[in-house]
Chain A
């Protein structure tokens, strides 16, 4: 149930993000989700795409520093407290979240939360025990 995310290092300068989206678009890579963590001087672009290995190869060919990271995608009920109930379960079980971001499903009204967690296998285990719906890579690529 792990999903592979691509992260790319970018200088915090005008037009840099577009250089990434351009090379991916030219090779027909579809970006399913994207978020940016930024500092004064640089940013890290994190994204889910439909063809991870191909995208990595394209980016490396274009001199971007990038890497793959395993993350967890969780379906979050679109009701008040929906996210909170999930975070409480992680918290009770001492799962530390390094970062998180969200996007919205197209077909349903649920949100998808992406979590970067160091103890990923433990988190998957706990999610399954507590009836948290994990989203598979296939689903992200094809259905959402």
Chain B
């Protein structure tokens, strides 16, 4: 089902003209109202009047996650705070998050694009949706919520976690739709199996899984274990949240809501725009957003875009499921973690050397982050209980900052490989 025929099946020429009009307006708003971006434009030697069509977007400077953090909390805001109706924050640490604000119109755009996404999986007002994305500052829960409201579907706002309750609601309320991270869906399936719950006796038809990278083989596993159609949904707080792009029933790449979010692929080294079909860094411009709009935001996600027509009839560009990252950010259970954050916390602990390694594994469908820390003379004790106390203390400090549980292991000095230049901090053993 196509939620918005006019927008989703818009001929390319008409789409480009709409995008051009909205880009010109956006650049003017940003130049007038957002100081840090005005400075960026001045440095780049580009004026609002240089932008005459969407093709001129290449003249505009990029925005990076670092730029956004530098202007924390409200430096991204392009409207007066009285226009802002809702605030969200990107996942990650408390200190270095990105704050985004939504005007009434932004919330309508979000509802609209999420409704389009849900409709791609056949969701109607007759369906009920078990929304197991976290509610709160994280955009996942409320994004799905708004889309479901837009469609008029029945929403079960259970939020994340509480697996036993999730399972009893799946059985008792018999929802048609499940929304959560792909790894959590498999965790649910495992727990259900232990309880003797048979997914073929439930009523699930479709699931929207996102907020972390996954793969075709994981899709096969999810579909067979949960007895539903598994769709990949993409979004990020800096752009709007979930709903930026989603797969339709043909599961053949993700349709981008490009009347609102203009997508480019660039060479991450040179910043040059790449043609369709070429793999590079995904860059978004929020053409219509008012509260915290962005121009050429570098997502650091690696993918490619196609304009080949999709069987569903939508004309929008499609992006391939994520193929990697340009930085060393890792996503653990939906939370973005940078090794630098972990380093910062570790180095505040007396006796901890700046030699550590992060090992990520997926056990029982959940991501486990092991932090290996090299033993030092200051940390050492001849008693096991003191050493395990040290491990626990580091785990506690990491949890306080990152909000994820880690397993800290003390290792012998000089056993973590040293490297010249960039240290290899991450060993990702997850098979996804």
Interchain CA distance A16-B413 in the complex, whole Å: 13
A65 and B413: CB pair below 8 A?
Answer: yes
Q: List B residues 367-390 near A (Cβ within 8 Å).
A: 375-377, 379-384, 387-388
Looking at the assembled complex, report how far the CB atom of B47 sits from the nearest CB atom of chain A, in whole angstroms: 60
CB nearest to B382 among chain A residues: A7
Q: Is the CB of B415 within 8 A of A66?
A: no
Q: What chain B residues lie within 8 Å of A46 (beta carbons)?
A: 382
Interface 1/0 per residue, A4-19 and B, CB below 8 Å? 0101011100001000
* Interface contact B377-A98, CB-CB below 8 Å: no
Which one of A35-43, A82-90, A104-112 is at the interface? A35-43
Residues of chain A within 8 A (CB-CB) of B388 are 39
Looking at chain B, what size class is its interface with the partner chain?
Answer: 10 to 19
Cβ contacts A112-142/B at 8 Å (1 or 0 each): 0000100000000000000000000000000
Could you say which of B382, B410, B412, B413 contacts A67, with CB atoms under 8 Å apart? B382
Across the interface, do A5 and B382 meet the contact criterion of CB distance under 8 Å? yes
Give the residues in chain A near B413, CB-CB below 8 Å. 63-65
In this assembly, does A93 line the interface, its C-beta being within 8 Å of a C-beta of chain B? no
A34 adjacent to chain B (CB < 8 Å): no
A21 interface residue per 8 A CB criterion: no
Known: A10-B412, A65-B412, A65-B413. A39 touches B375 (CB 8 A): no
Point out the residues of chain B lying under 8 angstroms from A10, CB to CB. Answer: 412
- B 408-432 binary contact with A (CB < 8 Å = 1; else 0): 0111111100000000000000000
**Chain A nearest CB: distance from B419 CB in Å?**
18
Is residue A69 within 8 Å, beta carbon to beta carbon, of the partner chain? yes
Task: Say whether, besides A11-B415, A69-B382, A42 and B410 are in contact (CB < 8 Å).
Answer: yes
Assess the B414–A63 pair: CB atoms within 8 A.
yes
- Interface size on A, as a range, is 20 to 34
Select which of B379, B387, B414, B415 is within 8 A of A44 by beta carbon.
B387
| Given known A42-B410, A42-B412, contact A9–B383 (CB-CB < 8 A) | no
Asked whether B410 lies within 8 Å of A44 as measured between CB atoms, the reply is no
Q: A41-B410, A42-B410, A63-B414 are in contact. Are A9 and B375 (CB under 8 A)?
A: yes
Closest to B383 in A: A98
**What does the 1/0 interface line of A34-66 toward B look like (CB < 8 Å)?**
000101011010100000000000000001111
- Secondary structure of the A contact surface, majority rule: strand
A116 touches B412 (CB 8 A): no
List residues of chain A with CB within 8 A of the CB of B375: 9, 42, 65
B387 to nearest A CB, angstroms? 7
Q: Which residues of A contact B415 (CB under 8 A)?
A: 11
Determine how close the nearest CB of chain B comes to the CB of A68; give it in whole angstroms: 9
Whether the Cβ atoms of A42 and B377 lie closer than 8 Å is: no
Q: Write out the residue numbers on chain B whose beta carbons fall within 8 Å of the beta carbon of A9.
A: 375, 380, 410, 412
A59 → chain B closest CB, angstroms: 11
Instruction: Convert B339-382 into 0s and 1s, putting 1 for each residue whose CB lies closer than 8 angstroms to a CB of A.
Output: 00000000000000000000000000000000000011101111
User: Is B380's CB under 8 angstroms from A41's CB?
Assistant: no
* Contact (Cβ within 8 A) B412 A11: yes
Contact A37 B414 (CB under 8 A): no
**A7 vs B379: C-alpha distance in the bound complex, in angstroms?**
13
Give the CA-CA distance A11 to B383 in the complex, in Å: 15
State whether A99 and B412 are in contact (beta carbons under 8 Å apart), knowing that A39-B388, A65-B376 are contacts in the complex.
no
Please report the C-alpha to C-alpha distance between residue A51 and residue B413 in the assembled complex, in whole angstroms. 24
Q: Which residues of the other chain, A, contact B377 by a CB distance below 8 angstroms?
A: 65-67
A5 to B382, CA, bound (A): 10
The winner among A9, A10, A16, A44 for most chain B CB atoms within 10 A is A9
- Chain B positions within 8 Å of A11 at CB level: 411-412, 415
Q: List the B residue with the shortest CB-CB distance to A60.
A: B377
* Chain B residues closer than 8 Å to A98, beta-carbon distance: 383
Q: Are A99 and B376 in contact (CB under 8 A)?
A: no
Query: What residues of B have a CB within 8 angstroms of the CB of A39 in the complex?
Result: 384, 387-388
Q: How far is the CA of A64 from the CA of B409 in the complex (A)?
A: 17
Contacts of A41 in B (CB 8 A): 409-411
Inter-chain CA distance A44–B409, complex, in Å, is 14
Verify B412–A44 contact, CB threshold 8 A. Answer: no
In the complex, what residues of B have CB within 8 A of residue A99's CB? 383
Given contact pairs A65-B375, A65-B376, A116 touches B382 in the complex (Cβ within 8 A): yes
Q: Which residues of B contact A7 (CB under 8 A)?
A: 380, 382
Residues of B within 8 A of A44 (CB): 382-384, 387
Given contacts A9-B412, A16-B412, 15 further A-B contacts (CB under 8 A): A7-B380, A7-B382, A9-B375, A9-B380, A39-B384, A39-B387, A39-B388, A41-B411, A44-B384, A65-B379, A65-B413, A67-B377, A69-B382, A98-B383, A116-B382
Give the 7 A-B residue pairs with the shortest CB-CB distance, closest first. A7-B382, A11-B412, A69-B382, A65-B375, A65-B380, A9-B375, A41-B409
7 intermolecular pairs with C-beta atoms under 8 Å apart: A9-B380, A42-B375, A44-B383, A65-B380, A66-B377, A67-B377, A67-B380
Give residues in A with beta carbon < 8 Å to B: 5, 7, 9-11, 16, 37, 39, 41-42, 44, 46, 63-67, 69, 98-99, 116
